[in-house]
């Protein structure tokens, strides 16, 4: 089982890939642009990235270069272009392998297995990291969170919010940063954050008046930290 990021703007190809990979027991996240891909790899750990070269925002070579500037994750490029010179150039630029579209599931699986074998043999990938804050355990890879060993039923946004804060325990995160990082918006009203925070609070079994993990500092930001001994 591997954690896979699929970067593909074609809805049809993307859903097919997600379906096949999920059926093969892989954990899949997917995005349709290079910039979203960069954001994903900055926030989550993947075992392999499948990168379509024909993305709407950035040229494939450019996208690969930017990915490489922030992560060593194995990248398999998927290209409709049967252009040997370009493929060789991309392999030299840090791609680990490539697939020419259309490709079969078997072909994809074989390439993935080979890439994963190599990266695991190289010991490049650390074991999955679980973020722990007090009795909270957050697994960004599996997108699961537990409190006191009990699984929390979180929406996608609640999970993102919790995981982001858990990555910086005890640090007051300004609302602006939350909007930018969790909502991916450069502006917005505080209400959006407040509403999600209150839902998340309820699931953590606490209230704004009697916070345990989630602390709102009016006009400043939000922080997540383990409850004190008196709580």
Answer yes or no whether residue 158 interacts with Ca ion by CB under 5 A. Answer: no
> Do β-strands 144-147 and 136-139 pair in parallel, antiparallel, or remain unpaired?
antiparallel
Answer yes or no whether residue 47 interacts with Ca ion by CB under 5 A. Answer: no
- In the complex, what is the shortest distance from the CB of residue 56 to Ca ion, in angstroms, rounded to a whole number? 8
Nearest in space to 167 (alpha carbons), one of 189, 151, 145:
145
Answer yes or no whether residue 97 interacts with Ca ion by CB under 5 A. Answer: no
- In the complex, what is the shortest distance from the CB of residue 80 to Ca ion, in angstroms, rounded to a whole number? 7
Looking at residues 49 to 68 of the shown chain, list those that interact with Ca ion (rule: CB under 5 A): 52, 54
Answer yes or no whether residue 36 interacts with Ca ion by CB under 5 A. Answer: no
Q: Name the segment binding Ca ion (CB under 5 A); options: 10-18, 98-106, 199-207, 212-220.
A: 10-18
CB closer to Ca ion, 10 vs 177: 10
Residues near 86 by Cβ (< 8 Å), separated by ≥ 6? 61, 79
Alpha carbons 39 and 5: distance in angstroms, whole number: 11
- In the complex, what is the shortest distance from the CB of residue 32 to Ca ion, in angstroms, rounded to a whole number? 9
Answer yes or no whether residue 40 interacts with Ca ion by CB under 5 A. Answer: no
Answer yes or no whether residue 33 interacts with Ca ion by CB under 5 A. Answer: no
Size of the site for Ca ion (CB under 5 A): 4
Concatenating the DSSP letter of every residue in 167-224 gives TSTTPPEEHHHHHHHHS--S---HHHHHHHHHHHHHHTT--SSS-SSEEEETTTEEEE
Other Cβ atoms within 10 Å of 92 Cβ, number: 8
Answer yes or no whether residue 94 interacts with Ca ion by CB under 5 A. Answer: no
Answer yes or no whether residue 160 interacts with Ca ion by CB under 5 A. Answer: no
- In the complex, what is the shortest distance from the CB of residue 63 to Ca ion, in angstroms, rounded to a whole number? 11
Whole-number Cα distances in Å, 16 to 6, 56, 150, 178: 11, 19, 33, 33
Please state the φ and ψ torsions of residue 71, each to the nearest 5 degrees.
-150, 155
Interface contacts to Ca ion, rule CB under 5 A? 9-10, 52, 54
């Amino acid at each position: 089982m591997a954690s896979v990021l699929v970067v593909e703007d074609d809805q049809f190809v993307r859903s097919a890939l997600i379906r096949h990979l999920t059926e093969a027991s892989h954990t899949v996240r997917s995005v349709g642009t290079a910039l979203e891909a960069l954001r994903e790899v900055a926030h989550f750990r993947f075992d392999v990235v499948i990168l379509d070269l024909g993305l709407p925002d950035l040229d494939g070579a450019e996208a690969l270069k930017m990915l490489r500037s922030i992560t060593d994750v194995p990248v398999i490029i998927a290209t409709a272009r049967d252009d040997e010179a370009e493929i060789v150039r991309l392999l030299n630029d840090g791609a680990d392998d490539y697939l020419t579209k259309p490709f079969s599931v078997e072909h994809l699986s074989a390439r993935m297995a080979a890439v994963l074998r190599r990266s695991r043999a190289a010991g490049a990938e650390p074991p999955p990291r679980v973020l722990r804050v007090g009795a909270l355990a957050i697994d960004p890879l599996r997108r699961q969170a537990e409190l006191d060993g009990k699984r929390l039923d979180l929406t996608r946004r609640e999970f993102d919010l919790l995981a982001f804060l858990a990555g910086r325990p005890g640090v007051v995160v300004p609302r602006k940063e939350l909007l930018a990082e969790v909502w991916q918006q450069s502006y917005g009203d505080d209400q959006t954050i407040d509403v999600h925070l209150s839902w998340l609070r309820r699931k953590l079994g606490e209230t704004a008046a009697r916070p345990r993990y989630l602390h709102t500092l009016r006009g400043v930001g939000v922080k997540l930290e383990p409850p004190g001994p008196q709580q």
